[in-house]
Amino acid sequence: MSLPAAHPLNPVSPASNAPASTADSALVRALRGESSAHVPVWFMRQAGRSLPEYRTVREGVAMLDACLRPDLAAEITLQPVRRHHVDAAVFFSDIVVPLKLAGVDVDIVPGRGPVFGSPVRTAAAVDALPELTADQLAPIAEAVRLTVAELGGTPLIGFAGAPFTLAAYLVEGGPSKDHLAARALMFAEPEVWERLVMKMADYSAAFLRAQVLAGASTVQLFDSWVGSLAPAVYRAHVRPASARVLASVADLRTVDARSVPRIHFGLAGPEMLCDLRDAGADAVGVDYRTELADAIDRLGLDVPVQGNLDPALLGAPSAVREAAADRILAAGQRAAGHVFNLGHGVPPTTDPDVLTRLVAHVHAWEATER
Which are the catalytic amino acids?
A: 45, 49, 58, 94, 169
Phi and psi (nearest 5°) for 36? Answer: -150, 170
Tell me the C-alpha distance between 6 and 3, whole Å.
8
DSSP H helical segments within the chain, as ranges? 26-31, 52-58, 63-68, 70-84, 97-102, 123-127, 138-151, 163-172, 180-188, 190-214, 231-237, 239-247, 273-278, 292-299, 318-332, 352-369
Q: Which residues of 155-183 are buried (b: 16+ CB within 10 A; e: fewer)?
A: bbbbbbbbbbbbbbbbbbbeebeebebbb
SS3 string, 270-321, reads HHHHHHHHHCCCCEEECCCCCCHHHHHHHHCCCCCEECCECHHHHHCCHHHH
Query: Do the Cβ atoms of 213 and 151 come closer than 8 Å?
Result: no
Tell me the C-alpha distance between 10 and 257, whole Å.
9
Strand partners, 253: 2, 259
Phi and psi (nearest 5°) for 340? Answer: -75, 135
Phi and psi (nearest 5°) for 220? Answer: -130, 130
Amino acid at 301: L
